Amino acid sequence: MEFALILLGSLCVGLAIALIRARAERAADWERNRRELAEQRARRDAEFKEQTERTSALFDRMVEGLLVVDSVGRIRLANKAASALFGLEGNAVAKTTLEATRNHEVSALVSRVEREAEVLGYELRIDSMGAPRFLQVNALAMRGNNGASDGAILVFHDLTRLRQLEGVRQEFVGNVSHELRTPLSLIKSASETLLDGAKDDPVALQRFLQIIDKHANRLALLIDDLLLLSTLDSGGLRLNKQPLALRNTVQDAMDDLQPRALMRDVTLENAIPQGFIVYADSDRMRQVMSNLIDNAIKYGREGGKTLVEARTLEDGRIEVLVTDDGPGIPKDFQDRIFERFFRVDKARSREQGGTGLGLAIVKHVVQAHGGEVRLEGESGRGSTFILNLPAPNPVR
Ligand code: ADP
């Protein structure tokens, strides 16, 4: 009996131990599984985060603005360019397009693309940081596997720069046409007057032929200047740079312009030292000097003086100065003086046979030499045009 009880007791103890062991093993298994699952989830999360960051970095590098919205029009993603265009503050994610962009047209476009599946080439004008911007939008609806709406993608191309260039081009064409039309109509009316009978009067014949000659010359000058500017614009001007004795170049330009200076009783003074060398294209440098000295004669003081000087700066660069003692150029106009067709006094310029392109040519030619041109002087106190040119050591 006693033996049976002992046997039963030890059986019970054995069973209890086996049970405890089994439970401990289950708990260890469970803990192992839990840890593995947690590690797998952490790996997936890290991969997902890395992928999302890589995608966002890619989208942020796009020049175009990109908005991705969900099926109820809330923003899922806005790249850097879109944030800059619409001034999106902080995180725009989860806001509606209207809340984020404060632009009704954008939110109307989101609704429209839902209905039409795609909207291409939509033109949008927005105010971005106080300045108008012209955008072209392409929008595409996204659908889930079951065909249900899954939001939309909107891509914004900024066309502002193109529009501005188009405006500049149109203004230029308008100016050119106007400049060509003026001398042409004068030539036409002079020839008509001659044909109508003035040719039989020797005095009238002489006068009208002079008008025709003057305006034909003006047309030729204008066309030469336009062609040169277009060559400069296209970067097609070939410069034959070589060491140049600047005093001689300036003297050649002054000799050509002496008759015009005499007509206004202007003294031309060449104060450039003998042996002063610049590294430049001889013909082009002569043209630059000629344009500046011609302006100084035309717009300077009658009976005044035009002075050309040069100096070497500490860094080895060279400055050439063309100074007159005329009325100068009012401060308000000084920023625009190198623009094509810009004139302070249109009538005066035309009357003097100006094309309105002289200073634009000076600026471009000097830039093609690696230099810059600036104007100094106050209204009423004459003008000094200063060319800053590279040091005269030829680059081999
Ligand atoms: P333009 O053919 O009219 O002379 P430019 O481009 O050479 O054209 O000069 C542009 C305008 O700048 C001129 O119409 C004139 O109003 C002004 N200007 C240029 N040089 C001078 C100067 N030395 N003094 C006063 N005004 C000047």
Class for the domain spanning 240-396: alpha beta
Q: Would the pTM of this model clear 0.85, i.e. be above it?
A: no
Q: How much of the chain exceeds pLDDT 90, in percent?
A: 72
Give tens-digit pLDDT for 257-296: 999 999 999 999 999 999 999 999 999 999 999 999 999 9
Query: Is the shortest distance between the CB of 86 and ligand 1 below 6 Å?
Result: no
Give the atom of ligand 1 at the shortest distance from the alpha carbon of 296.
23
Amino acid at 47: E
Query: 2-6, 119-123, 218-222, 261-265: which range is least confident on average?
Result: 2-6
What pLDDT is stored for residue 225 in this prediction?
Answer: 93
- Which residue bears the tokens 């020049």? 63
Q: Which fold has domain 59-158?
A: Beta-Lactamase (3.30.450)
Q: Which residues of 245-268 are buried (b: 16+ CB within 10 A; e: fewer)?
A: ebbebbbebbeebeebbeebebeb
Q: Please, which pLDDT band fits residue 1 given cuts at 50, 70 and 90?
A: low
What pLDDT is stored for residue 394 in this prediction?
Answer: 55
For 194, the token pair is 């001659």
Give, for ligand 1, the residue of 176, 182, 299 to mutate: max count of ligand atoms closer than 8 Å to Cβ. Answer: 299
Quote the strand ranges of the chain, DSSP E: 65-69, 75-78, 118-128, 131-143, 149-158, 241-245, 267-270, 277-281, 305-312, 318-324, 372-376, 383-389
What pLDDT is stored for residue 396 in this prediction?
Answer: 47
Query: Is the shortest distance between the CB of 229 and ligand 1 below 6 Å?
Result: no
What pLDDT is stored for residue 54 in this prediction?
Answer: 87
Average per-residue pLDDT in the chain? 92
Domain ranges, ordered by start, for the chain: 59-158, 160-236, 240-396
Query: Is the shortest distance between the CB of 392 and ligand 1 below 6 Å?
Result: no
Give the atom of ligand 1 at the shortest distance from the alpha carbon of 291.
7
Query: Is the shortest distance between the CB of 358 and ligand 1 below 6 Å?
Result: yes
What pLDDT is stored for residue 19 in this prediction?
Answer: 87
CATH 3.30.465.10 fits 160-236, yes or no: no
Give the atom of ligand 1 at the shortest distance from the alpha carbon of 338.
6
Give tens-digit pLDDT for 361-392: 999 999 999 999 999 987 788 999 999 999 88
